[in-house]
Amino acid sequence: MSIPDYMQCAEDHQTVLVVVQPVGIVPEDQFFKIYKRIASVSQVSIRDSQRLLYIRYRHHYLPENNEWGDFQTHRKVVGLVSITTCDSAKDWPQTSERFHGQKEVYSSTLYDSRLMVFGLQGEIAEQQRTDVAFYPSFEESPDVERRVEDFVESIFIVLESKRLDRATDKSGDKTPLLCVPFEKKDFVGLDTDSRHYKKRCQGRMRKHVGDLCLQAGMLQDALVHYHMAVELLRGVNDFLWLGAALEGLCSASVIFHYPGGTGKLAGRKPSVSQAADTGKRHRPGAQEVLIDPGALTANGISADTSTEIGRAKNCLSPEDIIEKYKEAISYYGKYKNAGVIELEACVKAVRVLAIQKRAREASEFLQNAVYINLGQLSEEEKIQRYSILSELYELIGFHRKSAFFKRVAAMQCVAPTIPEPGWRACYKLLLETLPGYSLSLDPKDFSKGPHRGWAAVQVRLLHELVYASRRMGNPALSVRHLSFLLQTMLDFLSDQEKKEVTQSLENYTSKCPGGMEVITLPDAADLDGLLCCCCRCSPAVKLSLFSDFQWVQGDVCEVQLMVYNPMPYELRVENMGLLTSGVEFESLPAALSLPAESGLYPVTLVGVPRTAGNITINGYHTSVFGVTSECLLETLPTVKTSGCLVEVIPSLPRLQLSTSLPRSTHTVQSMSKEELCSSVSVQLFNGEKQQMTITLENIGSEEIQTLELTSKIVSTKEKVFGEFLSWDLEDALSHLPLKPGQAVTLTVGIKVKLDFSGQESLLQDLNEDGISVTGLPISSPLRQVLKARSESKSVSSESGKTEYSHVKTLEAVLNFKYSGGVGKVEGYYKELSLGVHVDVEPSVFFTRVSTLPATSTRQCHLLLDIFNPTEHELTVSAKNNQELVLHASECQR
Amino acid sequence: MFGDSIRKCLAGLQGTQTWRVGIAVIAKENYPLYIRSVASQSELKFHYTVHTSLDVVEEKISAVGKSLGDQRELYLGLLYPTEDYKVYGYVTNSKVKFVIVVDSSNTSLRDNEIRSMFRKLHNSFTDVMCNPFHNPGDPIQSKAFDGIVSGMMVQTG
């Protein structure tokens, strides 16, 4: 016996084994349909008794294993059901022959057999035979189940007679020695008359009767027989059979304690077994083996034991079951050839312990099972064994161990010794290990919080998944796992590893261009919606929008994202665009290159809404290393908002503004709401006037129908005399409506008149004698009109500023309001603002005022010391048309 | 034989050299805070060993949890023996786990020595936690702790 049945559990000891096999040509699906129907008859209650007979069906059973039937009777094939098709009567003899041939295989152990013939009609089918059932077709076979029940009953009759026969075998003759296949040659030439030998025979027979009782549904009798067998066999040190007797005891006790079963069904109805468990657990004295010594008669076998011994007392307590299992396994362990028995016993014990929730002891059994040597195992058997170990570990809640063995099984699938490595199977097994390593491929799980689990082993597993999927010939899957690896394990990868991972990612993506969106895994968890964002979004996604958070249909809109590159090398992001919903939106993808380990880096994504309505910005899409990914804002753990709603209003015209003056980088301060689209700066001397030409061009696609202009002086504490900005809009308005492409010019006059008086500090610098005189540049009766002769202000501004810190600033905003097209109908308008920044320099200082008596007493001369701080010549004119020419930086009287 | 094949399977993956001793500190949430083994080639194997031992640790903790009130014994004892090494466990009251793995052939180490190793480890760990600049849950990078561990490795390895 070399192939263990890993699915065995303790209660299988009470079942009888029936093999169901096809004979001749039977379509597979039809066979399994019938097999399923037959297998549904798994217990039969026997008429005239309250006993139940349990049946285990197999469609494949090694005759080799059958030879162990004496050792444990549930391994014995006692029933055979053959299924065959037969179309005509002349095929019948041949079919019948085949059936008999098949019976021969198990002939030594068979109690009864049946043949089910499908398709045969006519004379032969008319005859009533007990061992053959005829059905016209697979469909018309209503009484298959009833037939099977009859069959089981007939098996029971044989079983019962065997049991009684063996149990009452009081013949003074020798009790035959039962033995397992490998023992046979050991007993050749043994003294069959010795007391020792006789005891051995009796013990083994007791054990055998126990088995039969158990199968026949006489649990209590079985327990008694087992107990006796244990006593007998212990006396003669027949360890293999002692082990079997102990195991039988365990099985019977398990059946008694856990009627729900310990096998596959156990998991389904835990409440049943639980109730039985608690109700029967503490049974004082249950472990005491009470066997009346009188029952052990001379030949050791007594027919009626049940009356002599207290029933429940023979049953082992749950703790004892485990003890006895341990003992049995240690006895099995003495025999090399009983490896399968030992292994199966371990598996059975583990299942019992799992129900008892004694995981640690179960793990000891499993640990032992790992080291049982079954000789040369085929690769397939190895895989099966690792898988079953993994399953059992799972059963006792050792998820990590389970994952470990599953992984070993996966590795075994692709072991170098296998000619055709099963990468698909390997991949499937690897996927199953994910939960054991607390990994989940569901993006919902990993975005929930900080990283969980053991990074080093997780990284390894993911690498293996990548490799397996590549070998499976599915690079798309590799890409997916690689990007998952990058995304979740980034913090745990070294720079070198990051490089390697991304390199292989690029390799794979080049192999599977396009079609990355939908990857369905072969029979695995649904991975849809797996997102990868190699450049993670920063906590603050700043959205800066035009037009007071309203977008205009047909206009280019911008969204600014702050991104960073966590990679130690430059990252090339391609095809980055916005994901939106609600309104038809044309996204204009951008490509960018992020420097290695960049800090926050602003990226502006642009697009054009094509229709009016509400638009929601859901996220963005990128392409990195050839991986296209879509990133929704709501899935980013660091971003609070779940997208941004923007209203798109109907289309409006667009104005472009250009001025005759140079643009400046000055931004007008305290601009809260309106964004300035541009600003100009100019430097003027006090009192100077300048004309600024503003050209307004309609660059949109709609007509401009209205235009308004307002101005506002901002942030100045200075007194401004006169109008700072003046314009005449009439001329421009006369050009309305302005068609697309047309332009209109507007002249705005800038005039600065500021009060520069009171700048004592400057005057003190200029006058060493320290007499302070107030300069009255403008409002004095001697009002000066100043004319600067040079236009090249920009040249002078530099030096002027550095030398004198008395430059004053005037700032104003010109606001253009315009509207047109569909938007105007709905009351929308656009604003365009132009900042005007003027640096005002003083043009003349009166440094000193003094009086001189004049010729007439009623008059006096007013002497003014005038200082020209400019670099230009200037003329001071007084009322009496006296003119004084002042050269640059000159002081004159 | 069967164990052999597992070992081969592991060895094939992670290099053949085995470690003689290893020490791991594992956070409450079962991820490593600190991992140290003598031979670095087979580090992944060490990771696997410690990782699977957590099953037993958890089982032991949950078993203790049922008996209320008791002052829990922090030392968990031998978690499981394998052919090559023995795995010992220790759990602090804040559910931080210490795992020491020693070579099976190392018979000089008794239960008492292992116990005192854990105690030393715990004391040093407490010092690390007392560092106001250490963020609990972050990997341990303390030099002092490293020193203590190195000392133990030299002693036992």
Of how many residues is chain B composed?
A: 157
Distance from CA of B138 to the nearest CA of A (A): 12
Sign of the four-CA dihedral A660, A665, A670, A676: positive
- CB atoms B30 and A367 under 8 Å: no
Higher pLDDT, A301 or A428: A428
Which residues have CB under 8 Å from B145's CB, separation 6+? B34, B124, B125, B127, B128
Residue A541 φ then ψ, to 5°? -90, 110
A168-192: per-residue pLDDT in tens? 765 545 677 777 777 777 776 677 7
- CB atoms A454 and B52 under 8 Å: no
**For residue A517, what are its two tokens?**
């969106």
- CB atoms B6 and A371 under 8 Å: no
**Measured between alpha carbons, how far is A247 from A333 in angstroms, rounded to an integer?**
13
B78 touches chain A (CB under 8 A): no
Choose among B29, B47, B80: nearest Cβ to A452.
B29
Nearest chain A Cα to B26, which residue?
A454
Q: Is the pLDDT of residue A405 over 50?
A: yes
**Measured between alpha carbons, how far is A273 from A277 in angstroms, rounded to an integer?**
6
Q: What is the DSSP letter of B110?
A: -
B14 touches chain A (CB under 8 A): no
Q: Which of chain A's residues have a Cβ under 8 Å away from the Cβ of B48?
A: 404, 457
Distance from CA of B47 to the nearest CA of A (A): 7
Residue with tokens 């919903």: A581
- CB atoms A370 and B3 under 8 Å: yes
Assess contact for A340 and A377: CB atoms under 8 A. no
Assess contact for A808 and A798: CB atoms under 8 A. no
Q: What is the DSSP letter of A26?
A: -
Amino acid at position A208, single letter: H
- CB atoms B51 and A460 under 8 Å: no
Nearest chain B Cα to A410, which residue?
B9
**Measured between alpha carbons, how far is A266 from A394 in angstroms, rounded to an integer?**
14
Q: A41-50, A337-346, A729-738, B117-126: which range is least confident on average?
A: A729-738
**Measured between alpha carbons, how far is A796 from A842 in angstroms, rounded to an integer?**
13
Buried b (16+ CB within 10 A) or exposed e, A830-849: bbbbbbbbbbbbbbbbbbbe
What 3-state DSSP class applies to A333? coil
| Average pLDDT of chain A to the nearest whole number | 72
- CB atoms A363 and B29 under 8 Å: no
Which residues have CB under 8 Å from A604's CB, separation 6+? A558, A559, A560, A561, A590
Q: Do the bridges between strand A550-552 and strand A644-649 make them parallel or antiparallel, or are there none, so unpaired?
A: parallel
- Tell me the mean pLDDT in the region A816-834: 74
Q: Which of chain A's residues have a Cβ under 8 Å away from the Cβ of B136?
A: none
- CB atoms A452 and B5 under 8 Å: no
**Measured between alpha carbons, how far is A713 from A720 in angstroms, rounded to an integer?**
10
- Tell me the mean pLDDT in the region A770-792: 36
Higher pLDDT, A751 or B33: B33
Q: Kindly list the distances between the CA atom of residue A590 and the CA atoms of A97, A137, A605, A607, in Å, as whole numbers in the listed order.
A: 80, 69, 7, 10
3-state helix/strand/coil string of A628-641: EEEEEHHHCCCCCC
- CB atoms A398 and B56 under 8 Å: yes
Choose among A364, A400, A415: nearest Cβ to B55.
A400
- CB atoms B2 and A398 under 8 Å: no
Nearest chain B Cα to A453, which residue?
B31
Amino acid at position A828, single letter: Y
A735 exposed, middle or buried (CB, 10 Å; 0-12, 13-18, 19+)? middle
Q: Note the pLDDT of residue B32.
A: 87
Nearest chain B Cα to A414, which residue?
B9
Q: Note the pLDDT of residue A778.
A: 38
Q: Kindly list the distances between the CA atom of residue A622 and the CA atoms of A122, A540, A563, A589, A638, in Å, as whole numbers in the listed order.
A: 74, 18, 12, 9, 18
**Measured between alpha carbons, how far is A867 from A784 in angstroms, rounded to an integer?**
13
**Measured between alpha carbons, how far is A841 from A260 in angstroms, rounded to an integer?**
101
A364-390: per-residue pLDDT in tens? 888 888 888 777 778 888 888 888 889
**For residue A186, what are its two tokens?**
């050991």
Q: Is the pLDDT of residue A514 over 50?
A: no
A77-92: per-residue pLDDT in tens? 899 999 888 878 788 8
Q: Is the pLDDT of residue A676 over 50?
A: yes
**Measured between alpha carbons, how far is A148 from A144 in angstroms, rounded to an integer?**
6
Q: Is the pLDDT of residue A307 over 60?
A: no
**Averages of pLDDT over each 10 residues, chain B, 157 residues:** 44 43 86 80 80 86 62 79 83 89 78 89 91 86 89 75
Assess contact for A309 and A340: CB atoms under 8 A. no
Strand-by-strand arrangement of the A112-118 sheet: A43-45, A52-58, A15-23, A77-85, A112-118, A132-135
Residue B114: count of CB within 10 angstroms of its CB: 20
Banded model confidence at residue A651, pLDDT cuts 50, 70, 90: confident
Nearest to A265 by CA among A497, A561, A43: A43
**Measured between alpha carbons, how far is A719 from A100 in angstroms, rounded to an integer?**
124
Q: Which of chain A's residues have a Cβ under 8 Å away from the Cβ of B59?
A: 359-360, 363, 397-398
Assess contact for A594 and A565: CB atoms under 8 A. yes
